[in-house]
Amino acid sequence: MLAEEKYIQKIDIKHRKKFAQFFTPLPIAEFMVNWIFKDNNIKTLLEPAFGLGIFSRLALDKNKNIKIKGFDVDKTIYSKASDNFQNSNVDLYLEDYLYNDWNNKYDAIICNPPYLKFHDYKNLETLTEIKKKLGVNLSGFTNIYTLFLLKSIYQLNQNGKMAYIVPSEFLNSNYGKNIKKYLLKSQLLKEIIIFDFKENIFDKAITTSAILFLEKTQSNTLNFTNIDNIFQLNNFDNVKKKSYSYANIDYNIKWKKYYQKQNSLKYKNLIPFNSVAKVKRGIATGANEYFVFNIEKAKKYNIDIKYLLPCITASKDILLPIFTNNDFNNLIKKNKNVFLFNGVNKQNNHIKDYVRYGEEQNIHQRHLTSKRKPWYKIENRLPAPILVGVFNRKGLKFIRNEANITTLTTFHCIYLTENLFQNIDIDLLFAYLLTDTAKEIFNDDSREYGNGLKKFEPNDLNNAKILNIFDLDVSIKKKILNLYNQYKDEVVNNKIESQALLHEIDTILQNNFSDVNSS
Ligand SMILES: C[S@@+](CC[C@H](N)C(=O)[O-])C[C@H]1O[C@@H](n2cnc3c(N)ncnc32)[C@H](O)[C@@H]1O
C-alpha cells in the first residue's frame, strides 16, 4: 500500500483540508518524473510541497545519487515523511516554502502545491516578497499555488526542468493574468497538459488540473494538450497537441481559447452579446440579514411595504424560466424574503428606528455599507427584464422577469442596449437564450470550478457571442416567437417547461446558422 493511502486512512479529512493535502495519483506522478528525467543530467532536486514525497521516491528510483530537498509545514506529515526517508539523500525541512530557501537553485523542481485561498493563508507579506524578487504584481485573490509556481521558477538552474501540477483555474481567471504574463515573459513554459476528466483526479478536491512543464532553455513555442483520460498519459507523444509561438499568445484572454474546442466555430453570423445587451451583477447589500425583509419582519419593525423594494434574494425562489407578478405575490404570501429595506429620504419614525437599530448592530461599519452615503442607501439597480443564474451545473439559467423586480447578486441582470439600427425584440432574444444552442456558445466563455461547476462573471457574458437572430427573415422570426409563446403559455398556466418546443427552436437555429465550412 502506498504511504499516501495509509495516511488517508489514518488522518482526519479536516486536518488534510487545512493543509490542502490532496496527493498526486501515482500514474500522474510517474508521468511528471519521467519527463523530468528524460535526456537530463540532474544532480539536485527540490520538492517544495513534500507531503509524503511521492515525487522524490520515484526520482530516487531513477537515480539514487541525486540530492533532494523537501519542505512541508505540517508536523504530522513531516514526521511520517522523515521516518520514511531516513538514511537517504533527502533533506527535509519543517518550514514554509514561501518564506525559505530563496537563495538556492536546483536542476529539477517537482511539485503539487497546496491549493489554498489567500485569505486562508496567514500572511500577505509573501506577495510583497514575490513582487520584489520577480517583479510580478499579484492581487489578494491569488491562490497560493501560483506563488509556489513563481518562486520555483526563480529557483531553477540554467537548463533545469520543472514539473508542476496545478488547478487549471488560473488559465482562465482574472487573477491568473499577471501569472500568465510572467510565464510568457520568462519563456520557460513548454507544455500545458489540461485534464478534462469526467471524474475528479484528486479525491474530494473540486479542481480540474493542469500539468505545466517548464525548462530553462531557449525556445519560443508553447504546446497545449487536452487529456480526457489517464491512459493517454502512457501514450503522450502521440496525443494531438496545439502549438503556438509565444508571440501569438495573449495573457489577457482566457487560455481555454488555445486548448478547448470553441463551440462558436460551428456557427456563422455571430455577434457579440454586448452589442444587444449589457450584463451587470445584482445588488450587493453588504449585510443581507439587515436589509432583506419578509412580511413578518416588516410587521415586527412596523415598516410599511411602500418603504420596501421588491427583490429576489435567493435563486431557489425562482423555479421556472418565466417569473410573473403572480409568482411574486405567491412568494409574499409564503412569507419569503422578497424585499429590501429602502429607507433613504423617508421621514417616517419607524424608518428612523430601524436605521438606528442598524447602527446599534454596527451594520454601518461593514465593508460595503461604510462606503455608502448614507450607509443604508442600497445600490441603484433598475429591475432587469432578463435575469441569469450565476453558478450552474446544468448550464445557464435565464429568467424572464415579467414581475419587473430587482435581484441580489444570486442573479446577474441583463438589460437591453439602446440600439439605433436594430430594434431588439426582447421575447425573440429570450427565446434564443433558452435554447441549448445559446448555452453551448456561451460555454466558450465560462470559467470552470471543477466537477462541472461553471461560473459566469458579468463580463464573461458581455464578451460572449450569440447568433444574430435579429437579422433572420421576418417569417422565421415569427415562427420562433410563435413557438416561444406556446412555451410561455405552458410555463405560466401549467408550470411545464416544454423541451419539445425549445427543441424546435434549436432546430431552426441549427438550420439557419450551422456553418457547413467548419470542421
Ligand atoms: C497537495 S499536497 C502534495 C503532497 C505531495 N507532494 C503529493 O504530490 O502527493 C501539498 C503539501 O504541501 C504542504 N504545504 C502546505 N502549505 C505549505 C507551505 N506553505 N510550505 C510548504 N509546504 C506546504 C501540505 O502540508 C501538503 O503536504
Read off the pLDDT of residues 253-282 as tens digits, 9 standing for 90 and up: 989 889 887 888 899 999 999 999 999 999
Whether 518 and 265 have beta carbons less than 8 Å apart is answered as yes
More confident of the two residues 423 and 471: 471
> What value does the mean pLDDT of the chain take?
90
- Element spanning 62, H or E: helix 54-62
Query: How far apart are the C-alpha atoms of 463 and 152, rounded to whole Å?
Result: 34
pLDDT at site 204? 47
What pLDDT, on a 0 to 100 scale, did the predictor assign at position 135? 81
Atom in ligand 1 nearest the alpha carbon of residue 52: 5
Interval 176-188: pLDDT, tens? 899 999 999 989 9
For residues 167 and 443, the answer to whether their CB atoms sit within 8 Å is no
Task: For residues 53-78, give the mean pLDDT.
Answer: 96
The ligand 1 atom nearest the CA atom of 48: 21
Cα(97) to ligand 1 centroid in Å equals: 9
For ligand 1, atom 11, name the residue with the nearest CA: 49
Residues in the ligand 1 pocket, defined by CB under 6 Å: 4, 19-24, 49-51, 54, 71-74, 77, 96-98, 112, 114
In DSSP terms, 171 is beta-bridged to none
The best mutation among 19, 92, 115, 165 to test binding of ligand 1, ranked by most ligand atoms within 8 Å of the C-beta, falls on 19
Mean pLDDT value of segment 476-502: 97
Closest CA to 234 of 26, 385, 389, 84: 26
**Dihedral sign computed on CA atoms, order 171, 188, 72, 88:** positive
The confidence band for 518, taking pLDDT boundaries of 50, 70 and 90, is low
CA 441 to ligand 1 centroid distance, Å? 38
- Specify the pLDDT at position 63: 93
> pLDDT at residue 446 above 90?
no
pLDDT for the residue numbered 232: 86
Segment 399-420 shows an average pLDDT of 92
Q: How far apart are CA 386 and CA 396, in angstroms?
A: 12
**66 secondary structure, DSSP code:** -
- Find the 19 Cα to ligand 1 centroid distance in Å: 7
Of 326, 460, 483, nearest to 396 by C-alpha is 460
Ligand 1 mutation target, pool 14, 30, 72, most atoms within 8 A of CB: 72
Rounded Cα distance between 354 and 339, Å, is 15
Which H, E and C letters describe 74-88, residue by residue?
CHHHHHHHHHHCCCC
Residue 473 parent element (H or E)? none
Q: How far is the CA of 113 from the centre of ligand 1 (A)?
A: 6
Ligand 1: residue of 13, 73, 150, 164 to mutate (most ligand atoms within 8 A of CB) is 73
User: For atom 17 of ligand 1, which residue has the closest CA?
Assistant: 73
CA of 431 to the centre of ligand 1 (A): 49
403-407, 444-448, 482-486, range with the lowest pLDDT: 444-448
pLDDT of residue 141: 66
Q: How far is the CA of 20 from the centre of ligand 1 (A)?
A: 7
pLDDT at 66: 95
As a whole number of angstroms, the distance between CA 98 and CA 138 comes to 15
312 pLDDT more than 90: yes
**Dist CA 256 CA 271 (whole Å):** 20
The pick from 4, 110, 112 for probing ligand 1's pocket by mutation, whose C-beta has the most ligand atoms within 8 angstroms, reads 112
Instruction: Kindly report which listed range (358-372, 454-468, 475-489) carries the lowest average pLDDT score.
Output: 454-468
Instruction: Estimate the crossing angle of helix 54-62 against helix 26-37, to 10 degrees.
Output: 40
**8 Å CB contact between 355 and 377:** no
Residue whose Cα lies nearest atom 10 of ligand 1: it is 114
Reduced to 3 states, what is the DSSP secondary structure of residue 168? Answer: helix
Q: How far apart are CA 496 and CA 502, in angstroms?
A: 12
Tell whether the model's pLDDT for residue 450 goes beyond 60: no
DSSP 153-165: HHTEEEEEEEEEE
Cα 11 to middle of ligand 1, angstroms? 15
Euclidean distance between CA atoms 181 and 146, whole angstroms: 13
CA of 493 to the centre of ligand 1 (A): 56
What per-residue confidence (pLDDT) applies to 418?
77
Query: Considering only CA atoms, which residue is closest to atom 5 of ligand 1?
Result: 51
| Size of the chain in residues | 519
pLDDT of residue 229: 78
- Name 131's Cβ contacts closer than 8 Å, sequence gap at least 6: 137, 138
- At residue 1, the pLDDT reads 84
Mutate to test the pocket of ligand 1, among 50, 120, 201 (most ligand atoms within 8 A of CB): 50
Ligand 1: residue of 2, 11, 21 to mutate (most ligand atoms within 8 A of CB) is: 21
Least confident segment among 89-103, 138-152, 340-354, 428-442: 138-152
User: What would the mean pLDDT of 146-151 be, rounded to a whole number?
Assistant: 92
- CA–chain centroid gap for 295, Å, is 36
The pLDDT value given to residue 206:
46
Domain locations in the chain?
3-260, 261-276+417-519, 284-393+400-412
Task: Quote the cell numbers at residue 443.
Answer: 460555454
**DSSP symbols for 36-60:** HHTT----EEEESS-TT-HHHHHHH
> Which atom of ligand 1 is nearest to 111's Cα?
6
Q: Which pLDDT value is given to residue 88?
A: 81
Q: How far does residue 424's CA lie from ligand 1's centre (Å)?
A: 53
Question: What pLDDT is stored for residue 132 in this prediction?
Answer: 82
Q: Confidence class of residue 121 from pLDDT cuts 50, 70 and 90?
A: low
Q: Tell me what the mean pLDDT of segment 380-393 comes to.
A: 88
Ligand 1: which atom is nearest the Cα of residue 47?
Answer: 6
Q: Are 216 and 157 in contact (CB under 8 A)?
A: yes
Given a cut of 60, whether residue 301 has pLDDT beyond it is: yes
Taking the mean position of all CA atoms in its chain, how far away is CA 343?
36
Q: In angstroms, rounded to a whole number, what is the distance separating the alpha carbons of residues 70 and 18?
A: 19
Q: What architecture does CATH give domain 3-260?
A: 3-Layer(aba) Sandwich (3.40)
β-bridge mates for residue 166, sequence order: 210
Ligand 1 nearest atom to the CA of residue 165, by list position: 8
Task: Inform me whether the pLDDT recorded for 211 exceeds 90.
Answer: yes
pLDDT, residue 453, reads 65
Distance from the alpha carbon of residue 145 to the mean position of ligand 1, in angstroms: 10
Range 187-209 average pLDDT:
74
* pLDDT grade for 469, boundaries at 50, 70 and 90: very high
Nearest CA to ligand 1 atom 2: 21
